[in-house]
Amino acid sequence: MQAKNNKPSDDFYDSADMQELAGETPIGWSATCLDQTICYYLDCDQEHFEDLDNSNHN
């Protein structure tokens, strides 16, 4: 499961910083569970705001 791209702009993240963080990525079932949980809540949050936006237009 992949999170939607929520970063504000491409120049916001320094590629050197991203490479450093990539080396610290946790591995294992708990990391996968955490990743899926974060993706779930990001998706739910986006759907909630889309619903609010749609209800404000009606």
Q: What is the pLDDT along the chain (58 residues), one digit of tens a residue?
A: 444 555 455 555 677 766 676 666 667 778 888 889 999 999 998 888 888 888 887 6
Number of domains in the chain: 1
58 falls within a domain: yes
Predicted confidence at residue 52, as pLDDT, reads 83
Give the pTM.
0.42
43 falls within a domain: yes
6 falls within a domain: no
Predicted confidence at residue 12, as pLDDT, reads 59
12 falls within a domain: no
Predicted confidence at residue 24, as pLDDT, reads 65
Helices (H), 1-58: 15-22, 29-57
Report CA-CA distances (Å) from 48 to 8, 17, 35, 52: 20, 32, 20, 6
Burial 8-47 (b: 16+ CB within 10 A, else e): eeeeeeeeeeeeeeeeeeeeeeeeeeeeeeeeeeeeeeee
Query: Which residue segment(s) compose the domain that 36 sits in?
Result: 27-58
